[in-house]
Structure 1
């Protein structure tokens, strides 16, 4: 098994400690007298071993503590070196800071028990106050570094947890921002499609009719429709631009279309669909005086608007029926248009209008369906009409 390379700082600590111990040893500065091993070189053995433990204090803290404990005990049988003791305190500290969590939790308890055991043992043996001094010294070189390491480790873990929470909060905020931007872009796309594309479709149909028929009256009528749709489209674009600008918060009350404007909407559809042989009928069975949340009214208006635009572009000659009714807590919008081949010019479709109608309905928690039933293309939308729908 390949041992990990010692950290550069740990190697520096080991080299400096070993050099300091050699200086003290050279000048004969020891911590103890009258020990079993009276040879001066014996003091160097625990010193060298402890320096090696310092080199491994970060990469192998548990092994360094075990070997260092043996070295510090062996140092007590020699003349002793102050540097060996100091390096041992650092090894104990590093074992708590860099060791595995379970091992780091055990070291303070173990050193505390050792301190208490040494104090009691020497009290029983010597029966004088000097035993208390030995206990204090034992606590200073073992228990105190372990407690210090535990405090430092707890602070580091708390800082790491706070940093992780901050990163997660920033990530969630970024996700919310991206979702908000995507939702706003989808809303703008629906508005632009419902407002601008419908007018442009009418312009395309009538300009094609004006170019294909060499009749002054037909051409003049087509140009009139083109101008009306151009002016209306320009007005709608200006309204949207006004909503996008920062005007201090809310848009003006008159800026949002409502179901009260269905008659002008059908009148414009009659003008646009006259070339295709279409008639438009409105059946509004809502009870008088009832109010609807603004988002519900806007969604219902846009669904009718898009359905009429689709009828102008794709419906066969016949009658287009628009029915709006309210029953209980639901607003029902139904548009039936003739389904089949149509004569004269048409306009290509992309299907984004159906997607927009479905999105509007689902955002309010309603139900939407659009499909052919025999010779009739049916659009059905059921929207919640209570006040809570405005918060959806």
Structure 2
């Protein structure tokens, strides 16, 4: 049987194959008479040697699972040495040393390493003290010690490599878990961002639709009513388009999907026209050069803040109220200001949940900017400062 096929077997089957092969080789060695390690010292018949061999091969089936298998094998080795050491028993015993070091507990493995080191000192001291011819005794010890040192060193090295591999696998598992947690956090953050987008877009359009529809119901001029209803339809179509794009993004996980381009300040005129159709007098001043592109995230953030501020102005400003939109780019800052008059008392429909203001602050924080909102004179002011870097062509 080849080594790869043997390794593919379950552990107990591997041990059975090894034990059977060892027993067969041992029988052949005893039958050939080349088993004697000390030629002049052999007082056991072959059947006793075969009995020792069978006992050791039977214990090999337990060496991986039973910690006491090494002690039983040591007892067999002691009997064999008493009868005259034989090659098969000594060789098989090295497998028990190997198995105890590799498969035993960590404490057992450390003990085996210590025993192997101690055996070197003990054997050398013994042969020097008891040997009649010290040169011969030392040569015999040097020839015997590898049977103890080699299997223990080999098993300890394999165990160390296996522990390193286990540690690497554990680290890889931890890294994979961390990566999965990071992915989930990123998905949650992205869903939160999309929820804010959806709130800003739909709330803005629906608020404009509600206000413009109310205004259309009170108009007696058919042409003016038609203009207002056209703005209502435009807001409805925009809301549906934005919602379809958002749903497409949610459905397109891991696939390519056609989506609409993100809104930019270049499209601010649509918001202004919608606010004017709601009955507001909107004045816009901007120093932003449309030919100089802004960072996409900042451009979208500025647009959404202006959208939310105009939506709130439509809710809180009186009919025909003045709204001033001021957008400036200076010293690496994009400043967006929306100032509007406030009704006294505010209309019942104007009371909201505060989500819009929170979303504006979160958007500004996300790009490293700041946002303030509060009373300003007789009105309300929303002011955002978003870092974009110096305009092109500005001296540094």
With structure 1 as the length reference, what TM-score do the two structures score? 0.69
Q: 2:369 aligns with which of 366, 369, 373?
A: 366
Query: How does 1:52-131 map onto structure 2 within 5 Å?
Result: 57-58=63-64, 61=67, 65=70, 69=74, 72-73=77-78, 75-79=80-84, 84-101=89-106, 103-105=108-110, 107-108=112-113, 110-112=115-117, 114-115=119-120, 117-118=122-123, 121-122=126-127, 124-127=131-134, 129=136
- Give the match for residue 336 of structure 2: 333
CA contact (8 A) 2:249 2:257 kept: no
Match status 1:324 vs 2:330: no
- Deviation, structure 1 residue 111: 1.7
- Give the match for residue 211 of structure 2: 205
CA contact (8 A) 2:19 2:58 kept: no
Q: 2:150 aligns with which of 120, 144, 148?
A: 144
Tell me the secondary structure at the aligned position of residue 365 of structure 1.
coil
Deviations 1:115-171 (A, max 9, x none): 4653574365434557524532342x3212112212321231232123223323322
- Deviation, structure 1 residue 281: 2.9
Q: Distance in 2 between matches of 1:85 and 1:206?
A: 100
Tell me the matched-pair count: 371
Q: 1:192 aligns with which of 186, 198, 205?
A: 198
Deviations 1:171-205 (A, max 9, x none): 23323332333343334333333334422322233
Query: How does 1:367-386 map onto structure 2 within 5 Å?
Result: 367-371=370-374, 376-386=379-389
Q: Distance in 1 between matches of 2:363 and 2:60?
A: 68
Change in 2 beyond 3 A, CA 1:125/1:368: farther
- Give the match for residue 177 of structure 1: 183
CA contact (8 A) 1:96 1:104 kept: yes
Change in 2 beyond 3 A, CA 1:19/1:339: farther
Q: Distance in 2 between matches of 1:193 and 1:12?
A: 70
- Give the match for residue 4 of structure 1: none
- Deviation, structure 1 residue 297: 2.1
Change in 2 beyond 3 A, CA 1:70/1:335: farther
Q: Distance in 1 between matches of 2:259 and 2:39?
A: 91
Match status 1:270 vs 2:264: no
- Deviation, structure 1 residue 293: 2.3
Change in 2 beyond 3 A, CA 1:136/1:19: closer
Deviations 1:245-298 (A, max 9, x none): 89999999xx444434444532331112x0xxx332334466998763232122
- Deviation, structure 1 residue 304: 0.6
Deviations 1:60-94 (A, max 9, x none): 64x65567556634542235676654553233112
CA contact (8 A) 1:65 1:92 kept: yes
CA contact (8 A) 1:292 1:386 kept: no
Q: Distance in 2 between matches of 1:305 and 1:342?
A: 20
Tell me the secondary structure at the aligned position of residue 292 of structure 1.
coil
Change in 2 beyond 3 A, CA 1:83/1:189: same
Deviations 1:322-343 (A, max 9, x none): 3333442332323233265445
Q: Distance in 2 between matches of 1:303 and 1:330?
A: 15
CA contact (8 A) 2:266 2:290 kept: no
Tell me the secondary structure at the aligned position of residue 380 of structure 1.
strand
Unpaired runs of at least 5, structure 1: 1-6, 388-392
With structure 2 as the length reference, what TM-score do the two structures score? 0.69
Supply the RMSD in Å over aligned alpha carbons: 5.0
Tell me the secondary structure at the aligned position of residue 76 of structure 1.
helix
Change in 2 beyond 3 A, CA 1:126/1:70: farther
- Deviation, structure 1 residue 101: 3.7
- Deviation, structure 1 residue 306: 1.4
Q: Distance in 2 between matches of 1:373 and 1:66?
A: 91
Change in 2 beyond 3 A, CA 1:59/1:247: closer
